[in-house]
Amino acid sequence: MSGLQTVSMTGLGSASGLTEVGALRIELRSVNGRGLTVKQRLCPEALCFEVAFDEVVRANLTRGTVTMIVERTDGGSGYDRSSLRRLLADLRGLAVDLGLRDDLSLRDLLSMASASARAESGSRPLPPEVAALLQRAVSDLRRHRHTDGTATVAAILTQINELDRLSGIAAARAPEVVRAHGEKLQKRVNEQLAAHGLQLEPGEILRELALFADRADTAEELQRLAAHIVATRTLLVQGGELGRKLEFLLQELLRETNTLGSKSPDVAMAHTVVAMKSCIDKLKEQAANLE
């Protein structure tokens, strides 16, 4: 299939390596979402990069709910001991200046260190090694999303072909619905009138049949269904970011299919409509994963 590559919102990407703040592992998990939501679970060393991480992810993705996990892999304590010593010295100096008792606990120190790191969020750009590691994780995620997107488009095309086939069955059945109704109407009315020795005039039968044919006319619905199916195939061939456009087309396909079913009292047509709606439900589930 030609055109731009279609991307799924579902995928997993990861990368590990040594960086300026220690050995890190970055994992990106992506699922579907209406827009782009980025959630982060960061080790203490990475807290000051929160805003920079968010900017990189948003520069590479447009839709999905992305969970970013950054963790130490070298068995480190999770804290920079030199920074903790400097912070402790500063706090003790402040206690002396203010004439306060120095009763800081390790828990107090770690809590203040975490608060200080969060306060720096957004003020520190990504160091080169951290930035390179994040880009590897993002590239891995995008590769998985591309692979999943290709498979999803193939599955959608299969369902579209089935919907097209069922629509053709409905189109072939539509003229038979009016004919069968006319025969049934004439038979039932004549049976009732025969009991009283009467016979309905042919003209009256024709008028009633004409009214039914007008109410049951599904030509417009079938034409719009065919047009929407063509538009869906064209959209899939074009590729790129098609999730929202595809969702709109599927809403229109469902609307026309529901109208088709409501206009016809025919059992065979009803079964075909149910099968068509089942196809559209599957299409909606698949389309919900596309970017």
For 168, the token pair is 């053709």
pLDDT band at 29 (very low <50, low <70, confident <90, very high): very high
pLDDT, residue 1, reads 44
pLDDT on residue 192 = 63
Task: For residue 62, tell me if it sits in a domain.
Answer: yes
Residue 23 has pLDDT above 70, yes or no: yes
pLDDT over 60 at 122, yes or no: no
Note the Cα 144 to chain centre separation in Å: 15
Question: Side-chain half-sphere of 126: how many Cα atoms within 13 Å?
Answer: 17
Tell me, yes or no, whether 153 and 282 share the same domain.
Answer: yes
Number of domains in the chain: 2
Do 274 and 203 reside in the same domain of the chain? Answer: yes
Q: Is residue 274 part of a domain?
A: yes
Both 132 and 195 in a single domain?
Answer: no
Query: CA-CA distance, 35 to 7, in Å (whole number)?
Result: 14
For residues 249 and 266, membership in a common domain is answered with: yes
In a domain, 1, yes or no: no
Residues 139 and 154 placed together within one structural domain of the fold: no
- Which of 113, 144, 175 lies at the terminal end of a domain, its last residue? 144
pLDDT at 16: 97
Q: Which of 67-71, 167-171, 240-244, 283-287 has the lowest mean pLDDT?
A: 240-244
Both 174 and 242 in one domain: the answer is yes
Higher per-residue pLDDT: 219 or 13: 13
Same domain, 194 and 276: yes
Among 129, 144, 159, residue at a domain's last position: 144
- CATH code, 208: 1.20.140
- State the helix-helix crossing angle for 202-215 and 128-194, rounded to 10 degrees: 170
Does residue 3 lie within any of the structural domains? no
For residues 161 and 266, membership in a common domain is answered with: yes
pLDDT of residue 182: 63
Task: Classify the phi-psi angles of 78: left when phi > 0, otherwise alpha if psi is within -120 to 50, otherwise beta.
Answer: left
Q: For residue 137, is it within any domain?
A: yes
What average pLDDT does the chain have?
A: 84
Calculate what percentage of the chain has a pLDDT beyond 70.
77
For residue 95, being part of any structural domain is answered with yes
Q: Residue 185's pLDDT is what? A: 63
Nearest 5°: the CA angle 139, 144, 149 is 120
Mean pLDDT of 232-249: 89
Residues 281, 153 within the same domain: yes
pLDDT at 204: 60
265 and 186 share one domain: yes
> What pLDDT, on the 0 to 100 scale, is given for residue 34?
84
Nearest alpha-carbon partner for 243 in 2, 6, 3, 4: 6
| Per-residue model confidence (pLDDT) at position 104 | 75
Assign 116 a pLDDT band (cuts: 50, 70, 90): low
Domain boundary among 89, 117, 144: 144
Q: Give the range of the structural domain holding residue 270, as residue numbers without chain letter.
A: 149-287
Position 210 scores a pLDDT of: 62
Do residues 59 and 131 share a domain? yes
**Same structural domain, 279 and 155:** yes
Is residue 184 assigned to a domain? yes
CB 1 within 8 A of CB 236: yes
Domain membership flag for residue 135: yes
pLDDT in tens, 175-214: 777 676 666 666 666 666 666 665 556 666 666 666 665 6
